[in-house]
Amino acid sequence: MIVVMKRGATRASIANVIVRREQAGYRTHVSEGEERTIVGIIGNGRPLDREQIGRMAGVERAVPILRPFKLASREFHPHDTVVDINGISIGLQQVIVIAGPCAVEGPEQMLEAARAVKDAGAHMLRGGAFKPRTSPYSFQGLGEEGLRILAQVREATSLPIITEVMDPQMVPLVTTYADVLQVGARNMQNYALLNAVGDSQRPVMLKRGMMSTIEELLMSAAYILSHGNERVILCERGIRTFETYTRNTLDLSAVPLLKQLCHLPVVVDPSHGTGKWELVEPLSLAAVAAGADGLLIEVHPHPEDALSDGAQSLKPARFAALMQNLRAVAEAVGRTL
């Protein structure tokens, strides 16, 4: 349920609603807008008396939330959430581009990639130190050594870094190095991991599972939000369909739909969404036109030698050309890059 306070409601009346509900065993969440304050009430299994709450001082109305993903819903939090990462804001007018190789392979490769994407205008650096692979014989990442390389590259380039965490026990280690924790598609419903990254209070990028619905994605986001960690970014990265010409089917309809249903920023990963570098540019442009707050793009200085996902990685020159075209589309839809 959300409790909409009257315009000009006093701090005392807002605090009274919060204290009374928490004393009854509920959890509360406050969203302060320019004109009104909304108090979200998360149930404890017992029904709430709307009429009783509506009679409290300063309350305009009490409204039940019909969406199951309450904390992620726009009903609960009408205003867009903006996630700040070292001074970079995701969820405002500027489209944020996160780029880099799929996997950290060594310091030279990572530094070359980082300098290339920064020169082209990227805002953040991606790179996997731990790689969940379909085959146990594929490159699994450099582990903590990869994290140290990422930290060294951040020091050299000032680019914030995002990297995947795969296990709840790894969260403290990864937070030592990373600016943003990525929960990959295979772990979207790893609830122990969602709870752990929620507790970390670090920014989290949550990728949609390859066979997950929009509602399931938002329910997973609510797990993280339930720990008071509001710095959650959603990522559409393609879903598994019957199509075989692409790695996944990139669901661009998810972008405006997520923006309608929830308050969290939405990023699109066209690299995993297609698996083909030739399709990355057109779908990146389409994602920005559809309203995406950011892009996650794989860039490798030598994709033919990449240990992971070379077929979907752009070379630096192509990435630089893409950034120029993205600026034009962003400006056409009232955004900046």
* Region 89-114 average pLDDT: 96
Query: In this structure, is residue 258 part of a structural domain?
Result: yes
Whose CA is closest to 4, among 65, 95, 81? 65
**163: pLDDT strictly greater than 80:** yes
**68: pLDDT strictly greater than 90:** no
Q: Which residue has the tokens 């050594």?
A: 145
Spatial CB neighbours of 316, under 8 Å, sequence gap ≥ 6: 113, 116, 117, 120, 299, 301
**326: pLDDT strictly greater than 70:** yes
* Domain containing residue 101: CATH number: 3.20.20.70
**135: pLDDT strictly greater than 80:** no
pLDDT at 188: 97
**Average pLDDT across the chain, whole number:** 92
Whose CA is closest to 255, among 266, 270, 240? 266
* pLDDT tens digits along 239-256: 999 999 999 999 999 999
Residues 57 and 152 reside in one and the same domain: no
Task: Give the pLDDT band (50/70/90) at residue 44.
Answer: low
**45: pLDDT strictly greater than 70:** no
Task: Give the pLDDT band (50/70/90) at residue 39.
Answer: confident
**42: pLDDT strictly greater than 80:** no
Residues 55 and 93 reside in one and the same domain: no
Judging by DSSP bridges, how do beta strands 180-183 and 161-164 pair with one another? parallel
Query: In this structure, is residue 48 part of a structural domain?
Result: yes
| Cα 337 to Cα 335: distance, rounded to the nearest angstrom | 7
Query: In this structure, is residue 28 part of a structural domain?
Result: yes
Query: In this structure, is residue 7 part of a structural domain?
Result: yes
Tell me which of 21, 37, 64 is where a domain ends.
64
Residues 25 and 170 reside in one and the same domain: no
**176: pLDDT strictly greater than 90:** yes
Q: Which residue has the tokens 């990685």?
A: 313
Residues 21 and 156 reside in one and the same domain: no
pLDDT at 137: 64
* Domain containing residue 58: CATH number: 3.30.70.1140
For the chain, what percent of residues have pLDDT higher than 90?
72
- Domain range for 157: 83-332
Number of domains in the chain: 2
Residues 150 and 280 reside in one and the same domain: yes
Query: In this structure, is residue 69 part of a structural domain?
Result: no
Residues 224 and 260 reside in one and the same domain: yes
Residues 41 and 99 reside in one and the same domain: no
Query: In this structure, is residue 73 part of a structural domain?
Result: no
Lowest-confidence range among 53-57, 78-82, 172-176?
53-57
Residues 114 and 169 reside in one and the same domain: yes
Question: Is-above-0.85 flag for pTM?
Answer: yes
Query: In this structure, is residue 71 part of a structural domain?
Result: no
* pLDDT tens digits along 269-293: 999 999 999 999 999 999 999 999 9
Residues 120 and 265 reside in one and the same domain: yes
Residues 38 and 153 reside in one and the same domain: no
Residues 113 and 156 reside in one and the same domain: yes
Whose CA is closest to 85, among 97, 69, 73, 101? 97
* Region 34-58 average pLDDT: 78
Residues 24 and 103 reside in one and the same domain: no
**211: pLDDT strictly greater than 90:** yes
* Region 65-94 average pLDDT: 90
Query: In this structure, is residue 74 part of a structural domain?
Result: no
pLDDT at 64: 79
Q: Which residue has the tokens 């310091």?
A: 107
